[in-house]
Structure 1
Amino acid sequence: MKKRTIMRTVIVVIIFSAIAYTVYSNFIKETFELVKIGDVAPDFILEDLNGEKHKLSDYKGKGVVLNFWATYCDYCKEEMPDLEENYSKYKSKGVEILAINNAQTPFEVKKFTKNISFPILIDHSIVVFKSYNIEFLPTSVFIDSEGTVKKISSGEMSNKSIQKNIELILPNR
């Protein structure tokens, strides 16, 4: 009889704990704003593979593509050469691409990006990933010269869609 009471009490405590956790999690999730089209892009400072710091707000006046990726992401691997091709095409027109890796080691990242000329940043603490609410890889955020988010693209983009989205953020159009 006593064992049954203890067991029931434990089960009730577990159920209430699970309910409380669910309510708390949903409350926190609901109060955390998602970055959306029309928002000012959250500023950040990250280091590239050479130790140089990049602050998003320093790129004001340019169109910026933030490409969130990882070396284990097959779609990211397929998309990277198209991003490089478009970087070569649009850099002189005032567009920058910043590739933001999700906390992998510099060794892994360098091996993967040896033919890439745009800045490769590593988000060691995943703060930028969280502030942009990145859930899927790759995800690209297209930011105009005033710092406003113009487009968010989750999943692999074709070369043509990269070009189309970059056209949205060209400065002085």
Structure 2
Amino acid sequence: MSNSSRAWIKPVIAAVAIAAIGFGAYATVSKREVAPELAFLSIKGEKITPESLKGKVVMVNFWATSCTTCVAEMPKMVDTYNKFKGQGLEFVAVAMSYDPPNYVLNYAETRQLPFKVALDADGSAAKAYGSVAMTPTTFVIGKDGKILKRYLGEPDFPALHKLLAESLKG
């Protein structure tokens, strides 16, 4: 075969490679994990149901009063919630099962946390969200109920705010 008769090979390989990359990106986006459908019990005795969160952008933050990173990030979480709540953001701070309920209640009251605070008394919420063990772990859930982002440790707040702004628009 002469070089001129093989000239079509490189463009075809390039097109196949581009298609594969595009399909891979599509598959990654379309296969986002659906957030677990579970109810939380708030420290005020309120049941937070999957139905009450449907169609909303939701942040679920697993934390503990004994976690120094959690305590350090909490004022930034409050600022984030206050910035986006008017656009429809819901926020559930889920205290880990090992966190004494009276510590959680005291922390939430003395810091006047403006969002819902729930207790994961039996660890079932942490388990449902992929066996969360490290705190803080924060999930951003889109209006479609799928997980947009999972943050282990303190989030990059400018990037988080950008994600929330984009998600709340759509």
Q: TM-score, normalised by structure 2?
A: 0.74
Tell me which residue corresponds to 1:47.
41
For the residue of structure 2 that corresponds to 1:113, the secondary structure is helix
Q: 1:101 touches 1:121 (CA, 8 Å); kept in 2? A: yes
| Residue pairs, 1:1-173, within 5 angstroms | 38-103=32-97, 104-114=99-109, 115-133=112-130, 134-170=132-168, 172-173=169-170
For the residue of structure 2 that corresponds to 1:100, the secondary structure is strand
Summarize the Cα distance change of 1:132–1:168 in structure 2 as closer, same or farther, 3 Å threshold. farther
For the residue of structure 1 that corresponds to 2:102, the secondary structure is helix
Alignment deviations for residues 116-158 of structure 1 (CA, whole Å, 9 cap, x no partner): 1100000101001011121211000100111011100101124
Q: 1:62 touches 1:145 (CA, 8 Å); kept in 2? A: yes
* One-letter amino acid matched to 2:161: Q
Alignment deviations for residues 22-47 of structure 1 (CA, whole Å, 9 cap, x no partner): xxxxxxxxxxxxxxx71111111121
Summarize the Cα distance change of 1:168–1:100 in structure 2 as closer, same or farther, 3 Å threshold. farther
- The size of the alignment, in residue pairs, is 136
Distance in 2 of aligned mates of 1:75 and 1:165: 22
For the residue of structure 2 that corresponds to 1:77, the secondary structure is helix
Runs of 4+ with deviation above 3 angstroms: none
Distance in 1 of aligned mates of 2:93 and 2:60: 6
Q: What is the CA-CA distance between 1:95 and the residue it aligns to? A: 0.7
Distance in 2 of aligned mates of 1:81 and 1:46: 22
